[in-house]
Amino acid sequence: MPRSFLSHLECPQCGTTYDADIIHHLCACGSPLLARYDLAAAAREVSPADVSRRAPSLWRYRELLPVRTDACEVTLGEGMTPIVPLVRAGTLHRLAHLYLKDEGLLPSGTFKARGAAVGVSRAKELGAKVLVMPTNGNAGGAWAAYAARAGLRAVVVMPELAPLITRHECAVMGSHLFLVDGLITDAGRLAGRAAAQAGWYDVSTLKEPYRIEGKKTMGYEMAEQWGWSVPDVVVYPTGGGVGLIGIYKALQEMQAMGWIGPKLPRFVAVQAAGCAPIVRAWERRAAVSELWADAATVAFGINVPKALGDFLVLKALYETDGRAIAVPDAEILAAQQELARQEGLFVCPEGAAALAAAIHLREEGWIADGDQVLLLNTGTGLKYPETVAAQPAVIPADGELPVDDIRG
């Protein structure tokens, strides 16, 4: 049995197909390409029960991943992040079946590790030597790590305002790091030009077809953890949108293989009020988004003014009776505090935005009483110290704690 049932690449816009074993970036028509598998053959050879017996990493779904040889699997043990119930926050907001998948528990502390693990593995397999990418920080940290593990060079370009710790991640991994006095779109332009000039492998979001294959494992895991079923609503913080597209792709693959039934979750794309191009497009029932001017939000990971895969995100929303919603930064920070104080979870602002959105949608009635709601927390709050104020008192070593001021 082959390790992977990858069969070809396909353009979701014009239908053109490409050989998956040759390096391709975008389709000739300008669209991203998607990896396709011989799902019928995969379904004959592997079952949900088989994968459930394997080690708890995203590679348990290897037949549905694009890496053909064991030697090219570049792994730090990533995957099978927990889904935790949010009983107290749920009760507070009349969300009786509220859950959070905690992607903070991955190498580099964010869901970006999934795309990097699979993307770097496949880049290595295809013979790439230098990877170049724009990033809002977290993808850079993740790709720098996996590139180092693979023995590849990484060139990372991030906005000056990206989370500081992501600079340290890139630096410690020995990657070439540049800051740009601008947004991720500016970083993308710089990276794209350099890639063309030097012949580097451009791993910008959706400019190569394998990052999304890593991200889609969130969907496989979700279904497996849900007992090979799905929740009613999936709430996803949306910047480039690859996670959402990936989860949807995974569900469609699992349906084709008979691993899950016909039910799909309603997808919610959450954006920050300061950068909400997908929300604006969804409100107009548009097929694509328009560049958002003067984008700014504390949830820096979703500060993406225009996403290459916007049409795929919108398609997923329309096809699942889903929706897009924007939440202001103040509500994002309040939700972050609430998840910590009520649930013991220090999430990134992007993940907190998912809770803020769910609260709105419940109030509106869009989320109904019995709905099972899954929030995706895309990363750990440890990477965002500036979102939390801490001014503790200093006690001399020979002093006393102010016991009387503290009550149980």
CB atoms within 10 A of CB 368: 11
> How open is the CA angle 235-110-278, to the nearest 5 degrees?
40
Indicate which single residue of 178, 226, 318, 366 sits in contact with a copy of itself (rule: CB under 8 A): 178
Residue 190 touches a copy of itself, criterion: CB under 8 A: yes
* Residue of 216, 248, 261, 231 whose CA lies nearest to 314: 248
Residue 23 touches a copy of itself, criterion: CB under 8 A: no
Residue 165 touches a copy of itself, criterion: CB under 8 A: yes
Phi-psi sector, 79: left (phi>0), alpha (psi -120 to 50), beta: left
Centroid of chain to Cα 145 = 17
Question: What binding mask, one character per residue, do residues 131-150 give for a copy of itself by CB under 8 A, x or -?
Answer: --------------xxxxxx
> How open is the CA angle 31-277-295, to the nearest 5 degrees?
115
Residue 43 to residues 5, 38, 68, 120: CA-CA distances in angstroms? 10, 9, 17, 26
What minimum distance in Å lies between the beta carbon of 16 and a copy of itself? 30
Name residues contacting a copy of itself, limited to 209-248 (CB under 8 A).
Answer: none
Name residues contacting a copy of itself, limited to 46-105 (CB under 8 A).
Answer: 56-57, 74-78, 80-84, 88, 102, 104-105
| Amino acid at site 275 | C
CB 313 within 8 A of CB 307: yes
What minimum distance in Å lies between the beta carbon of 82 and a copy of itself? 2
Indicate which single residue of 40, 92, 171, 330 sits in contact with a copy of itself (rule: CB under 8 A): 171
Residue 389 touches a copy of itself, criterion: CB under 8 A: yes
Residue 370 touches a copy of itself, criterion: CB under 8 A: no
Beta bridge partners of 183: none
Choice between 39 and 187, CB closer to a copy of itself: 187
What minimum distance in Å lies between the beta carbon of 377 and a copy of itself? 11
Residue 1 touches a copy of itself, criterion: CB under 8 A: no
> Which helix (H) or strand (E) segment is 347 a member of?
none
What minimum distance in Å lies between the beta carbon of 328 and a copy of itself? 19
Residue 353 touches a copy of itself, criterion: CB under 8 A: no
Reported in sequence order, the residue ranges of 265-311 that DSSP labels E, i.e. its strands, are: 266-272
Beta bridge partners of 272: 275, 327
Residue 295 touches a copy of itself, criterion: CB under 8 A: no
Choice between 113 and 254, CB closer to a copy of itself: 113
Choice between 116 and 278, CB closer to a copy of itself: 116
Name residues contacting a copy of itself, limited to 98-117 (CB under 8 A).
Answer: 102, 104-109
